[in-house]
Protein backbone atom coordinates (compact mmCIF):
# COMPACT_ATOMS: atom_id res chain seq x y z
CA UNK A 1 0.00 0.00 0.00
CA UNK A 2 1.22 3.52 -0.66
CA UNK A 3 2.53 5.04 2.56
CA UNK A 4 0.49 8.24 2.24
CA UNK A 5 -1.91 10.17 -0.01
CA UNK A 6 -3.89 7.10 -0.96
CA UNK A 7 -6.28 7.64 -3.86
CA UNK A 8 -8.91 4.91 -4.21
CA UNK A 9 -10.92 4.12 -7.33
CA UNK A 10 -13.76 1.62 -7.67
CA UNK A 11 -14.08 -0.26 -10.95
CA UNK A 12 -16.58 -2.79 -12.23
CA UNK A 13 -15.69 -4.88 -15.26
CA UNK A 14 -18.50 -4.43 -17.73
CA UNK A 15 -20.17 -1.73 -19.74
CA UNK A 16 -23.77 -2.10 -18.65
CA UNK A 17 -25.77 0.50 -16.79
CA UNK A 18 -25.69 -1.55 -13.57
CA UNK A 19 -21.91 -1.92 -13.82
CA UNK A 20 -21.44 1.84 -14.06
CA UNK A 21 -24.05 2.45 -11.36
CA UNK A 22 -22.34 0.05 -8.94
CA UNK A 23 -18.95 1.73 -9.44
CA UNK A 24 -20.46 5.18 -8.92
CA UNK A 25 -22.46 4.05 -5.88
CA UNK A 26 -19.33 2.59 -4.30
CA UNK A 27 -17.32 5.72 -5.04
CA UNK A 28 -19.94 8.11 -3.64
CA UNK A 29 -20.70 6.08 -0.53
CA UNK A 30 -17.03 5.56 0.27
CA UNK A 31 -16.20 9.24 -0.28
CA UNK A 32 -19.07 10.29 1.99
CA UNK A 33 -18.10 7.93 4.80
CA UNK A 34 -14.30 7.83 4.69
CA UNK A 35 -12.16 10.71 5.94
CA UNK A 36 -8.71 9.19 5.62
CA UNK A 37 -8.17 8.68 1.89
CA UNK A 38 -9.26 10.38 -1.33
CA UNK A 39 -11.74 8.71 -3.66
CA UNK A 40 -11.25 9.28 -7.40
CA UNK A 41 -13.48 8.35 -10.35
CA UNK A 42 -10.64 7.63 -12.78
CA UNK A 43 -8.66 4.47 -12.02
CA UNK A 44 -5.68 5.97 -13.87
CA UNK A 45 -5.43 8.60 -11.09
CA UNK A 46 -5.69 6.05 -8.28
CA UNK A 47 -2.90 4.33 -6.42
CA UNK A 48 -5.34 1.79 -4.98
CA UNK A 49 -8.00 0.14 -7.15
CA UNK A 50 -10.96 -1.81 -5.82
CA UNK A 51 -12.36 -4.20 -8.40
CA UNK A 52 -16.02 -5.06 -7.80
CA UNK A 53 -17.78 -7.99 -9.42
CA UNK A 54 -21.44 -8.80 -9.09
CA UNK A 55 -23.68 -11.71 -9.97
CA UNK A 56 -27.44 -12.06 -9.84
CA UNK A 57 -28.74 -15.35 -8.44
CA UNK A 58 -32.49 -15.61 -8.20
CA UNK A 59 -33.79 -13.00 -5.78
CA UNK A 60 -30.36 -12.04 -4.45
CA UNK A 61 -27.13 -10.54 -5.68
CA UNK A 62 -23.55 -11.34 -4.71
CA UNK A 63 -20.88 -8.64 -4.82
CA UNK A 64 -17.19 -9.50 -4.47
CA UNK A 65 -14.29 -7.09 -4.00
CA UNK A 66 -10.57 -7.28 -4.70
CA UNK A 67 -8.21 -4.48 -3.66
CA UNK A 68 -4.91 -3.85 -5.44
CA UNK A 69 -2.35 -1.12 -4.77
CA UNK A 70 -0.58 0.22 -7.87
CA UNK A 71 2.16 -2.19 -8.77
CA UNK A 72 1.24 -4.39 -5.83
CA UNK A 73 -0.45 -7.66 -5.13
CA UNK A 74 -4.23 -7.97 -5.32
CA UNK A 75 -6.00 -8.89 -2.10
CA UNK A 76 -9.45 -10.51 -2.12
CA UNK A 77 -11.78 -8.84 0.38
CA UNK A 78 -14.47 -11.48 0.08
CA UNK A 79 -18.04 -11.29 -1.09
CA UNK A 80 -21.45 -10.44 0.28
CA UNK A 81 -24.86 -11.73 -0.73
CA UNK A 82 -27.96 -9.61 -0.20
CA UNK A 83 -31.31 -8.63 -1.69
CA UNK A 84 -29.79 -5.61 -3.46
CA UNK A 85 -26.49 -4.29 -4.78
CA UNK A 86 -26.64 -1.54 -2.19
CA UNK A 87 -27.08 -3.93 0.73
CA UNK A 88 -24.29 -6.21 -0.49
CA UNK A 89 -21.96 -3.26 -1.01
CA UNK A 90 -22.13 -1.78 2.51
CA UNK A 91 -20.07 -4.43 4.37
CA UNK A 92 -17.55 -4.57 1.52
CA UNK A 93 -16.94 -0.82 1.78
CA UNK A 94 -16.25 -1.27 5.49
CA UNK A 95 -13.63 -3.90 4.61
CA UNK A 96 -12.07 -1.56 2.04
CA UNK A 97 -11.84 1.18 4.68
CA UNK A 98 -10.25 -1.17 7.21
CA UNK A 99 -7.42 -1.82 4.74
CA UNK A 100 -6.86 1.56 3.07
CA UNK A 101 -7.29 3.71 6.19
CA UNK A 102 -4.41 2.03 8.05
CA UNK A 103 -1.81 4.62 9.09
CA UNK A 104 -3.60 7.42 7.23
CA UNK A 105 -4.33 10.69 9.04
CA UNK A 106 -7.88 11.96 9.10
CA UNK A 107 -8.54 14.59 6.44
CA UNK A 108 -10.32 17.72 7.60
CA UNK A 109 -12.44 19.62 5.08
CA UNK A 110 -12.52 23.40 4.79
CA UNK A 111 -15.82 23.84 6.68
CA UNK A 112 -14.52 21.78 9.58
CA UNK A 113 -11.26 23.73 9.65
CA UNK A 114 -13.24 26.98 9.77
CA UNK A 115 -15.34 25.66 12.66
CA UNK A 116 -12.16 24.60 14.46
CA UNK A 117 -10.65 28.06 14.05
CA UNK A 118 -13.87 29.71 15.25
CA UNK A 119 -13.85 27.58 18.40
CA UNK A 120 -10.13 28.05 18.91
CA UNK A 121 -9.51 24.32 18.55
CA UNK A 122 -6.26 23.77 16.64
CA UNK A 123 -6.65 20.01 16.53
CA UNK A 124 -9.50 17.86 15.25
CA UNK A 125 -9.63 15.69 18.38
CA UNK A 126 -9.85 18.80 20.49
CA UNK A 127 -12.73 20.08 18.36
CA UNK A 128 -14.55 16.79 18.94
CA UNK A 129 -14.13 17.18 22.68
CA UNK A 130 -15.29 20.82 22.55
CA UNK A 131 -18.39 20.00 20.49
CA UNK A 132 -19.29 17.15 22.89
CA UNK A 133 -18.81 19.45 25.88
CA UNK A 134 -15.95 17.38 27.31
The pTM for the full model equals 0.75
Please tell me the distance from the alpha carbon of residue 53 to that of residue 50, in angstroms, as a whole number. 10
> Under a CB-based contact definition with an 8 Å cutoff, are residues 85 and 18 in contact?
yes
pLDDT of residue 129: 47
Non-local CB neighbours of 86 within 8 Å, separated by 6+ positions: 25
Q: Which of 6, 9, 33 is nearest to 104 (CA)?
A: 6
Q: Which residues does residue 75 pair with via DSSP β-bridges, in sequence order?
A: 67
Q: What does the pLDDT look like over 21-51, one tens digit per residue?
A: 999 999 999 988 867 788 999 999 999 999 9
Q: What does the pLDDT look like over 62-118, one tens digit per residue?
A: 999 999 998 889 999 999 999 999 999 999 999 999 888 776 656 666 676 677 677
Helix (H) or strand (E) holding 38: strand 38-39
pLDDT of residue 126: 46
Amino acid sequence: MPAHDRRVAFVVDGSGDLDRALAQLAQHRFAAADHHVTTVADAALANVVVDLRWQLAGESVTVAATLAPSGGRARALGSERAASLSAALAPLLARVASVVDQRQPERIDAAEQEAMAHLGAPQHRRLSRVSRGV
